[in-house]
Each structure stands twice: as C-alpha cells, then as structure tokens.
Structure 1
Amino acid sequence: MAVSHKGAISFGLVHIPVSLYTATQDHDIHFNQLCKGDMSRVRYKKVCAGCGKEVGPKDIIKGFEYGQDQYVVVTEEDFEKIKTEKDRSIQIMHFTDLSSIRPIYYDKTYHVLPDAGGEKAFELLRVAMKDQQKIGIAKTVMGQKETLMALIPTEDGMLSETMFYADEIKALPKEILHPQVKEAELEMAKTLIQSMDRPFEPHLYHDEYQKRLRQLIEQKIAGQEVVAARQEERNSVIDLMEALQRSIEQQAAAPAKGRRKKGA
C-alpha cells in the first residue's frame, strides 16, 4: 500500500516518525460514458486555450491568476521552500474528548503507522491516550493545505481523521422546527429504540444495492430481461402513536437472530 503522507507526530519535545495510509477503499461499480450513436467511449482531453493543442501532464504547470489573464507560476520546489519544520510534522496542539467533536467535521480516515525507530514512543502515546480516553488535535501540511486532524487511539493502532475548518462547514439550509413532543410519544419512542438496541458489528452490513447492480449487469450481458425488484408494501399509518406501537410489535415478533444483548 502506498504511503499517503510522511511526517512525525510531535507533542512537547517528543517526535515520532510516522506514515499515513488511506484506511478506506471504494468497491462501487463504476460506469464509462458512451456516445449514444455508436457506443464509443466519451473521453475528456486537456486542451490549451491558446493554441488549441492537447497537453499532457509534463506540459502542465501551476499558476495563480492575480489579474486578468496574468499568472504567476508556482513550482513544487516553491511549495517546499516555504514549509517550516513544524509544517512537515504532525503537531499535536492539545488533547480532548472524542465526544466533543461533531461528526460533520470529519473528512477522510488514515491509518497511522510508526516508522523505524518510533515504535516505542508511538506505543507510549497510543496507550496513554487510550487510558486517558483522549484524542489529539493536530495540524500538518498535506499537499498545499494546512490540514486539521484528530489522532484517535484504537485497540491495536491509531487513526487520523482529517477535519474541516469551522468556516468550511455550511450552515443549515433552513431552520428546523421543534414541535412539542408528548410524554407518551417520547416514552414509546424510547421503548422502540431500546427494542432495536444492539452492538455495532461491521461484518453484518453489506452494500445490497451493489449486489443487485452486479446481477443486473450480468443479466444484460447474458441478454436476459431485467425483472423489476419486488416493492415492499408500506402501511399507510398516519397516527404517530399507532406507528410507534406497530413498530414495537414488529420488533417483538422479529426473529431473535441479530438482536443480541449488549455485551454478547
């Protein structure tokens, strides 16, 4: 697996050389765009606006437009020159509780692995953070951006969650109404939640739509007719209390499989 970023976790006077590796992968089925007329691939070319010729990666440089059609060229060497030692490290600014961060701030997940020579200091930090139930809030420069991140200890390693800055989070598109909730409705909703409460077991969840999509493709390749999926009937329950009651009864009648008790 290729390294996404190299640096050193820095807190106080301690420096731990580490590498970041992407922690997630895409298993989705992807489609090519085709011309409807002759089924040829639709391709996108990078073309020079001046001469009209197609340009390759070696012919492309980065420029910042500071005036109408006026650009200043910035090279990779320039980017590196302005980086300080602090920029090259993953500087922990402070520690905090995981619950204090709203999920909306998280962007992308990385595995954090110690490089040679940093194993003991890495383990010391991981265990100390885990025992204290704390995470580290840090900064580093990745590419051409100073990235905010959360360092989260796990049972056998550490994760890095890159984060959005506060000014990158969009406000709610409209105000949410908060109607008065009746006590009986609230108690019944809590009962329903309790009846559906069980441990999170990642291996139980799969992308079922992707499975049906793959079957559709195989049917189309074999020249078979695609049969529409059977639609589940929805009960036209309008009364909220009735809907909650029926949901609780449905959970009670469901097979015990998968409804394990906490700690099972």
Structure 2
Amino acid sequence: MARTQRSAITFGLVHIPAELYAATQDNDLHFNQLVKGLNERIQYKKTCPSCKKELKNEDIVKGFQYEKDKYVVITDDDFEKIKTDRDRSIQIMLFTGLDDIDPIYYNKSYYILPEKGGEKAFELLRQAMYEEKKVAVGKTVLGNNETLLVLIPQKDGILMETLYYFDEVKEIPKELPKSKPGKEELSMAKQLIDAMDGEFKPEQYKDEYQERLRSMIEKKIEGQEIVAPKQETGSNIIDLMDALKASLDKGGNKKQGRKAAGK
C-alpha cells in the first residue's frame, strides 16, 4: 500500500511522527468513450491555443487569473514555501464524542500509522481516546488545501476521516412536511426495527450490480445475447399500517429463523 503523506500528530507539547495511507479504493468498472460505429477511443489532447502544438505534462504550469487574460504562475516550490511545520502536521484542536459529529461532514478515510520512534506515544493516544470514548478534531494541509479532520481510535490503530467545512455542506433543499405518526403506527414501526435488528458485518455485503455488470460484459465479449432478468412483482399495499404489518410478518419470520439457527 503506497503512503499518501508523511505527517505528525501534535497536541499540547506532544509530537508523534506518523504517516497516512488511503483506507478505501474504487472497485467499480470504468468505461471509455468510443466513436459510434468505429469503436475507436476518443482522444482529448491538450494543445497550445497559439501554436496548436500538443503539450506534455512538463509543458504545463499552474496559473491564477487575477485580471482578465492576466495570470500569475504558481510552482510546486511556491506551494511548499508557504507551508509551516504546523501545516505539515495534524494539529489536534479538541477532543469530543463521536456522536457529536454529524455524519454529513465525513468525506474520505485514511489509516494513520506511527513512524519509527512514535509507536509508544501513538498507542498511548489511541488507548486513552478509546477508553474515554473520545475522538480528536484537528486540521492539516493535504496537497494544497487545509483540511478539517477527525481521528477515530480503533481496537487496532487510528482512523483519520477528513471533514467538509460548515460552508461546504448544503442545507436541506426544502422544508420537511409536518406529520405526526399515530401511536399504533409508531409502535409497529418500532417492532419492525426490533425484528430487523442485528450486528453489522461489512463482509456480508457486496456490490451485486457490479457483479451483474461484469457478467454482462463477459457475455458481450463472447457474443452472447443479453437477456433482462425477470422483474420482481411489486407489492400492491398502499395503506401504511398494512405495509407495516406485512413487513413485520416478513421480518419476524427472518428473525425467528436466525434465532433457531443460532441454537
């Protein structure tokens, strides 16, 4: 696994050398755009608007437009020169409860691991947060952006989640309708939740659509005809109470089956 960035965790006078690794990966299939009828891949070339010459990566620099058609060139060295030691470290600003952070703010996951010499302090921080049921809110510079983040202690190691800033999160697009459920409806909804209650085991779930997509591609390569699967018949239940009762019967049967299997 390739390291994303070297860093350090700092709080108070504590300095723990650490390194970041991406914790997730994209397993989805990706497609190219082709010319219809020719099946030739469409090319997107970067060219100079004056001489029309195709450009290589080394021919391209970053520029900031400060007036119409006027730019100032910013190099990688310029970006690095303005970074301080604090920017290169993960600065813990406060400790809080995990439930105090709205999940809408979570963005991307990283594993954070101690570098040589920082193992003891790293484990001390992990265990203290884990036993106190606390997470650490902090910030660092990733690439060229100052990033808000939270460090979450795990049984093994610490997970870092980058966070959106407050002004990056949109408000609910429209006002939620005011509706108060009846006591019987609420009681049955709670029973349904209880009937479907269980332990989350991520290894039990897989992307079934991607599996069907891969199978379809293999059949297309072999020249087979693609046949649409038989569609499941939808329920005609419209009344909320009827839907809850039917769902409860179905969920209850499943839970009884799980209990019987566990005996």
Tell me, yes or no, if structure 1 residue 87 matches structure 2 residue 81: no
CA distance in 2, matches of 1:201, 1:178: 35
Of 188-197 and 81-90, the range deviating more from structure 2:
81-90
1:251 match: 251
Cα displacement (A) at 1:260: 6.0
Which SS does the other structure have where 1:162 is aligned? strand
- Structure 2 match to 1:30: 30
Q: Deviations over 1:5-52 (max 9, x none)?
A: 211100110100111000011111111111103110012111222322
Larger displacement relative to structure 2 (213-222 or 195-204): 213-222
- In structure 1, the gaps of 5 or more residues are none
Preserved contact between residue 198 and residue 260 of structure 1 (Cα < 8 Å):
no
Q: Is 1:110 matched with 2:87?
A: no
CA–CA distance in structure 1, aligned partners of residues 259 and 107 of structure 2: 32
TM-score by length of 2: 0.96
Deviates more, 1:174-183 or 1:150-159: 174-183
Aligned to 1:235: 235
Deviation at 1:252, TM superposition (A): 2.3
1:155 matched residue in structure 2: 155
Distance 1:144 1:195 in 2: 48
Aligned residues: 262
- How big is the shift at 1:2? 1.4
Q: From the superposition, tell whether residues 103 and 260 of structure 1 become closer, same or farther in structure 2 (CA, over 3 Å).
A: farther
Aligned to 2:190: 190
Q: Deviations over 1:217-260 (max 9, x none)?
A: 11111111111112111111111000000001111233756x46
**Who is 2:41 aligned against?**
41
Percent identity of equivalent pairs: 55
Secondary structure in 2 matching 1:150: strand
Moved more, 153-162 or 75-84: 75-84
Question: Contact between 1:199 and 1:260, CA under 8 Å: does it hold in 2?
Answer: no
Q: 2: distance between equivalents of 1:214 and 1:28?
A: 10
After TM superposition, list the pairs within 5 Å mapping 1:211-230 onto structure 2: 211-230=211-230
> What's the secondary structure of 1:50's corresponding residue?
coil
Matches of 2:132 and 2:45 in 1, distance apart?
53
> Please, which runs of 5 or more residues in structure 2 have no aligned partner?
none
- Cα separation, 1, equivalents of 2:159 and 2:218: 38
Q: Quote the Cα distance in structure 2 between the aligned partners of 1:104 and 1:50.
A: 45
Alignment of 1:52-71 (within 5 A): 52-71=52-71
State the SS of the aligned residue for 1:185. helix
Q: How far apart in 2 are the matches of 1:87 and 1:57?
A: 27
Given the superposition, is the C-alpha separation of residues 129 and 255 from structure 1 closer, same or farther in structure 2, using an over 3 Å criterion?
closer
What's the offset of the Cα at 1:186? 0.5
Task: Give every structure 1 segment of 4 or more consecutive aligned residues whose post-TM-superposition deviation is greater than 4 Å.
Answer: none
